[in-house]
Structure 1
Amino acid sequence: MNHSEDNDDYNAFLKEMADVTPVKRKILADIQKSQAVTPGQQVRKAAAEDTFTDPNFLSLLNPKMVKPHDFLVWKRDGVQEGVFKKLRLGKYEIEARLDLHHKTGKEARESVFQFINDCREHELRTVLIAHGRGEKSNPPALLKSLLYTWLPQMEAVLAFHSALKFHGGSGALYVLLRKSEREKLENRERHAKRTLHGTI
């Protein structure tokens, strides 16, 4: 048999086999069973993903419950009384506002976390958060209680106080935020200059 006959036979073989699909090798191990995820595994997986990928550490569980008409007052150690008094009396300019009315706890959690971080990034110092009194929520004052629990957990927050009546009264909070590192440096430089001029 010469080469041309070999080629003819091979080409004829290829032509015959053109429509044939290869048989898939049967997998003996039952891998479907191991891939099926139980409800318990799904819950654990979701919890693990939340822990590792969500930078928002605010929790919806076990807020410190307050009443709808309670006035909320809180400040970190080191906040001067004069500064806190000005905040309480609404004497600082409100640089940004967040309205939580009609939001769920989950939506409020996202909004508060984002709002405080945005304000910090833009070097805002005094902001207003309107949360409502929650007289009809179940339990009453839920958003207000969540906010009362969350804000002290946020490093950027120095103090808060329920607002004056024209800003929402016990349904809103004045919130004082930390100075940025840049603002602190500028303050130190100004103070140093004043001290220097005072000694000349």
Structure 2
Amino acid sequence: MSNATNNDDISAFLKEMEGVTPLKKKATADTQKAQRITPGQEIRKAAAEDTFTDPNFLSLLNPKMVKPHDFLVWKRDGVQEGVFKKLRLGKYDIEARLDLHHKTAREARDHVFQFINDCREHELRTVLIAHGRGEKSTPPAMLKSYLYTWLPQMEAVLAFHSALKVHGGSGALYVMIRKSEREKLENRERHAKRGS
């Protein structure tokens, strides 16, 4: 291709373009703006932050499922059979009560964690937690199953047993709380005096 042909093409193009004006620039999305956070993102962020800041280690995942009328029985190694029998028979004074009726699993989780820790701090030894049987919950016995899972995870809990009918039967638990260090020391001193 010669320079003359090339110049003719350019001249023809320029002649055709006479009177043409450039298009106006259209508005484009500002990709630098921060996007609005959706409610779902806020919930996931809060849940992720809770993992690092929430001292409550009780999980809402995978409880050991029990049935509405099951009797719940559990004790740590070292709890004497006579002590456990007295708990089972409701022979200890109930020093505090927690009622979980009409609570969501999340609310129950918070209440149980706080209640057990408060009982330990105030040196309460035998308490009652009313959870209901959960016959109408979906799935059945949901809160009861959570308690059955959570209580053994708490270091302060020594034992629990479903209550006598007068205290709620299979819809409530007697819970035995570990002695505080001060109570243990007093107990040792009391037994030492008896032996001398």
Structure 2 distance, partners of 1:41, 1:134, is 32
Question: Closer, same or farther in 2 for the Cα pair 1:106/1:44, shift >3 Å?
Answer: closer
Q: Letter of the aligned partner of 2:140 in structure 1?
A: P
Structure 1 distance, partners of 2:88, 2:51, is 36
Aligned to 2:172: 172
**Shift, 1:170, TM fit:** 0.4
Structure 1 distance, partners of 2:50, 2:132, is 29
Structure 1 distance, partners of 2:99, 2:120, is 18
Which protein is richer in helix relative to its size? 1
**Shift, 1:192, TM fit:** 1.3
- Partner SS, residue 189 of structure 2: helix
**Shift, 1:45, TM fit:** 3.0
- Partner SS, residue 32 of structure 1: coil
**Shift, 1:42, TM fit:** 4.6
Q: TM-score by structure 2 length?
A: 0.79
Note the 1:1-200 alignment, pairs <5 A: 32-33=33-34, 42=42, 45-196=45-196
Structure 1 distance, partners of 2:39, 2:105, is 25
- Partner SS, residue 33 of structure 2: helix
Q: Letter of the aligned partner of 2:76 in structure 1?
A: R
Question: Closer, same or farther in 2 for the Cα pair 1:47/1:104, shift >3 Å?
Answer: closer
Deviations 1:30-81 (A, max 9, x none): 7534x76588865653233111111111111110000000000000000000
Q: Letter of the aligned partner of 1:184 in structure 2?
A: K
Deviations 1:119-153 (A, max 9, x none): 11100000000000000000000000000000000
Q: TM-score by structure 1 length?
A: 0.78
Q: Letter of the aligned partner of 2:33 in structure 1?
A: Q
Q: Letter of the aligned partner of 1:75 in structure 2?
A: K
- Which segments of 5 or more consecutive residues in structure 2 lack a partner in the other structure? 1-30
- Partner SS, residue 145 of structure 2: helix
Instruction: Give the number of the structure whose alpha-carbon radius of gyration is greater.
Output: 2
Q: Among the aligned pairs, what percent are the same residue?
A: 87
- Which segments of 5 or more consecutive residues in structure 1 lack a partner in the other structure? 1-29
Structure 1 distance, partners of 2:107, 2:43, is 21
